[in-house]
């Protein structure tokens, strides 16, 4: 029996754990279920900030998944951000350790050429790690945008996104338009140089990213999405297909070890 690809998953952080009142790792179960259903084995990374240890984790893994959560610290992409916007940011309770860990994860993914799937906050930290910027608060900076923070319907399709013809997400889902959930108030602003848009919503908000064709050799697989396919994958084949494509790329990477 062929071993399943091992996926290193970067979880969120909570201010209070179930056992003790200290910082605790948090990972919504739909991530695990979606990966298992796609034939992959999830491996949540512990709260590391050591480059050597993170590099070893990436080396042992066959793919890396960046998950959702609180906002990326604005100092990483806009040190001159006005206070009115900075106050809108909901920061991680660990003093930026998650930001640091995931910046190193992205760097190691590119250095070791491992498949990468990034979801919601994951798309944002990916863009920042590669030199891009973010809108700190969609309602403030893009007042004509649709409501992207539908926390009341986090497991339902609440709006559609247009997929870039010939783009990776269009190829994976075999769709031109995709219904998605939406639970974010930040979004990609200026794109990192190596990334291109794979999907966007009707208001222009970027909903998915991939590598530009001319630099696609940098990684065997890279896809980021602003929505949460793990919460839809059990009922919608096109969202399961995202995890299936990622798992397949990670399985190929495993065989090449």
Side-by-side strand order, sheet with 6-10: 41-44, 6-10, 63-66, 116-119, 222-225, 206-211, 195-201, 159-163, 177-180
Of 125, 133, 119, nearest in space to 223 by CA: 119
Inter-residue contact 246 to 117 (CB < 8 Å)? yes
Inter-residue contact 121 to 101 (CB < 8 Å)? no
Q: What is the DSSP letter of 70?
A: S
32 is an active site residue: no
Q: What is the DSSP letter of 46?
A: -
Separation CA 62–CA 233 (nearest Å): 21
97 is an active site residue: no
Question: Given 148, 228, 239, 240, which residue is catalytic?
Answer: 228
Question: Given 120, 148, 159, 207, which residue is catalytic?
Answer: 120
Separation CA 18–CA 139 (nearest Å): 34
122 phi and psi angles, rounded to 5 deg = -55, -40
Cα 59 to chain centroid distance, Å, stands at: 20
Neighbours of 50 (CB within 10 A): 11
Question: Given 102, 108, 207, 230, which residue is catalytic?
Answer: 230
What are the residues facing 134 on neighbouring strands?
188
120 is an active site residue: yes
Q: Active-site residues: which are they? A: 120, 228, 230
């Amino acid at each position: 029996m062929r071993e399943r690809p091992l996926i290193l998953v970067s979880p969120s952080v909570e201010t209070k754990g179930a056992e003790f009142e200290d910082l605790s790792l948090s990972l919504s179960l739909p991530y695990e279920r979606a990966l298992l259903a796609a034939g992959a084995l999830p491996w949540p990374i512990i709260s590391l900030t050591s480059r050597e240890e993170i590099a070893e984790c990436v080396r042992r893994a066959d793919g890396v998944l960046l998950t959702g959560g609180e906002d990326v610290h604005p100092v990483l992409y806009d040190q001159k951000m006005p206070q009115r916007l900075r106050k809108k940011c909901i920061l991680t309770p660990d003093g930026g350790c998650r930001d640091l860990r995931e910046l190193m994860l992205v760097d190691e993914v590119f250095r070791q050429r491992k498949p990468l799937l990034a979801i919601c906050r994951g798309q944002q930290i990916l863009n920042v790690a590669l030199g891009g910027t973010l809108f700190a608060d969609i309602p403030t900076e893009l007042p004509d945008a649709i409501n992207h923070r539908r926390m009341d319907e986090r497991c339902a399709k609440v709006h559609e996104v247009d997929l870039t013809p010939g783009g990776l997400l269009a190829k994976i889902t075999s769709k031109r338009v995709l219904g998605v959930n939406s639970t974010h108030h930040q979004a990609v602003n200026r794109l990192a140089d190596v990334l291109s848009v794979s999907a966007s919503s009707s208001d222009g908000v970027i909903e998915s990213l991939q590598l530009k064709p001319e630099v696609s050799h940098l990684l065997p697989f890279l896809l980021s999405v602003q929505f949460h396919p793990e919460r839809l994958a059990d009922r919608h084949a096109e969202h399961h297909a995202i995890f299936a494509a990622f798992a397949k790329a990670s399985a190929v990477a495993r065989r090449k070890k």
